[in-house]
Amino acid sequence: MLYLQEQHLMIRQTVRDVVAKVVAPKAREIDETCAFPWDAVKALGELGLLGVPVPEKYGGAGMDNLSNSILIEEVARHCGSTALTIAAHVGLGTYPILAFGTEEQKMRWIPQLASGQAIGAFGLTEPDAGSDAQATKTTAVRDGNEFVVNGAKMYCTNGSYASTIVFTAVTGTDAAGRKQITAFVVEKGTPGLVQGKLEKKLGMRASDTRMIHFEDCRIPVANVLGGEVQIGVGFKKFMQTLDGGRISIGALGLGIAQGALDRALPYAQQRRAFGGPISDLQGVAFKLADMATWIEGARHLVYHAAMLKDADQPFARQASMAKLFASEVGTKASDMAIQVMGGYGFVREYDVERLYRDAKLCEIGEGTSEIQRMVIGRSLVKDGCGF
């Protein structure tokens, strides 16, 4: 692509090299055993790839969000679980501290997160608060220089491995009776922070997903994200965090889709039926053409949203478009790859069934496809088409 600069080509090749050595050979195994991808996390961290968009001042690579999208895309071509682990760590566990934390908070937590010495997580969804995140029931009651937190967060990616978890809790109500929601950072090992069981999932099986419980968990006021002046205004920060996270999930869906085509195309060229390779059959060739076209469109949407963010331009609508389209392309392309490969596509040895299972999460996590359509629709009504 013409807009990829030398740094983007460099990181793409670097990631491809490490993925070929560390990620791809174990992707099937960790899916079957649900083992956390520690080897991949360690290898990527040693190369500085767990803090790609973090400034060098805080121990990161000082690169852009487009580079981070390329990283996630390339990992997802072979292992959705590893790609999700990285996406959640960078976009949800690290970004809000970087974007909204005080300077002391950034220096305290970001360097270890950016270097891969520590893993970050994010807690928003609750048993009764999913798409309607404002319905959160987790509470934080101030007691001197501490907050006492009670409640639970569901589907916390990296939950048991995270050294820090950024989460929201209700700290009061305003004059109109609306909940005032505050963002906090809680550290692993804090008394009252209890890990739930590992969730058994359809896909992304090696990604650590579990409930987090707060049982009279005492958190210092110093751990309010952004400091005391930010008490009661954390919800907006989390919504802004999700805008950026949607670019990452778009990159994840894109990578899965590309991985599906990577496997379906050579199979179709080698598999012979009716006197020639099945890629010569119109029914198969059209499927491959559709997959390639969808993937190219998804890549442009994801990269465009990332570049808007890098340019400090409004990007929320484009992030939702990228996430919506690329995640649905991930599901459609992996489904079509199974169809092209027939019985081979249905068995685990050929990986596309794993890609198919992994892809579905992209249509659910960080805002369902229905929520993305709501975001896009409201943006159109409010701001017009923008052209």
Q: How does DSSP assign 306-372, residue by residue?
A: HHHHHTT---HHHHHHHHHHHHHHHHHHHHHHHHHHTHHHHSGGGSHHHHHHHHHHHTTTTS-HHHH
Mark residue 137 as left, alpha or beta (left: phi above 0; alpha: psi -120 to 50; beta: remaining): alpha
What fold characterizes domain 122-233?
A: Butyryl-CoA Dehydrogenase, subunit A; domain 2 (2.40.110)
Lowest mean pLDDT among 127-131, 144-148, 212-216: 127-131
What is the model's pLDDT at position 236?
A: 86
Mean pLDDT throughout 170-186?
93
Query: Amino acid identity, residue 272?
Result: R
What fold characterizes domain 236-383?
A: Butyryl-CoA Dehydrogenase, subunit A; domain 3 (1.20.140)
109: pLDDT strictly greater than 80: yes
- pTM, two decimals, is 0.96
Mean pLDDT throughout 349-357?
96
The CATH number of the structural domain formed by 6-119 is 1.10.540.10
- Dihedral over alpha carbons 15, 17, 18, 21 (to 10 degrees): 150
Confidence of residue 387 (pLDDT cuts 50, 70, 90): low
What is the model's pLDDT at position 1?
A: 62
What is the model's pLDDT at position 352?
A: 98
Compute the distance between CA of residue 95 and CA of residue 54 in angstroms, rounded to an integer: 8
Of the candidates 74, 353, 366, 370, the residue annotated as catalytic is 366
Task: Locate 50 and state its tokens.
Answer: 């767990």
What is the model's pLDDT at position 177?
A: 85
Q: Tell me the pLDDT tens digit for each residue of 42-55.
A: 999 999 999 999 99
What is the model's pLDDT at position 370?
A: 97
What is the model's pLDDT at position 131?
A: 86
Mean predicted lDDT score pLDDT of the chain? 96
Does 366 participate in catalysis according to the annotation? yes
Spans of all domains in the chain: 6-119, 122-233, 236-383
Q: Tell me the pLDDT tens digit for each residue of 219-228.
A: 999 999 999 9
Phi–psi pair at 214, nearest 5 degrees = -115, 115
